[in-house]
Structure 1
Amino acid sequence: MSQTAASTPNIQIHRKDVLELEPLSLPGEITSAVAGKFLNRKQNTLILAK
């Protein structure tokens, strides 16, 4: 699902709220997780779900 910067539109110009997802892989009991980073003008919130 990766796209190059040339083919990805810059939505930050048009939107103030941005959602970025980053897959994580951890050794041991947790084999995979997803971190969602929600950005807006006043705060940064990081939510980690396994």
Structure 2
Amino acid sequence: MKKKRRKKKEKKKKKKKEKKKKKKGRKTGRRGWKEGWMSTTITTRVYYQH
């Protein structure tokens, strides 16, 4: 049972990584990767102000 659970967790992690990569490739413009994984201008603004 423990082995089965470990396999499921690994699969979920792989899916999440793929989604993040897709977001990065989708919105890469002037702001670069920040706009990609934040995908909202408000959060990018806060990022730049800090």
Mark yes or no: TM-score above 0.5.
Answer: no
TM-score, length-scaled by structure 1? 0.24
- More contact order relative to length (CA 8 Å, sep ≥ 6): 1
Bigger radius of gyration among the two? 2
Going by fraction, where is helix more abundant, 1 or 2? 2
